[in-house]
Amino acid sequence: MFGKGIIDFIGTDHAPHSTLEKMSENPPSGIAGIEWLLPMMLHFRERSGISWERFQEFMTRNAARCFNIAGRDGIKEGNFADLIFIRQEDFGSPDKNVQTRAGVNIYNNFHLKWQVLAAMINGGFKYRAGKFLSSNSGYEV
């Protein structure tokens, strides 16, 4: 599906709900686990054999193009410096380091080979070496 152009872009709902909220009478929708989006998608990129160029298109550029968000459609002069630094490393099952308030990991038995080392948003590091560096999460686009 990725390599055939059927999928235009990938997004998340972020679902930052606590266990208490999810167990309430009227639980909010969504699945926790945004911290595993990129390692999971990198896993599928490897399995499908798609190019890095196509991967970047459906993970970043195409959403910006679809919603006409200026300055977010790739690495080029004048754009915001939004970068993710990754490493391929066989670190096993992501059963630790759950970052969401839900405190659960639906991928805890899945073997992943990619790790996010750092995230730069608008030219500043927001995540590096397992730590969030700023509570400022951004702005509406």
- CB 131, CB 116: distance < 8 Å: no
Cα Dmax for the chain = 49
What are the angstrom distances between the C-alpha of 139 and each of 43, 101, 121, 136?
A: 30, 21, 11, 9
- State yes or no: is 8 an active-site residue: no
Alpha-carbon gap, residue 36 to 104, rounded angstroms: 12
Q: Which of 13, 82, 90, 95 is catalytic?
A: 13
Catalytically annotated residues? 13
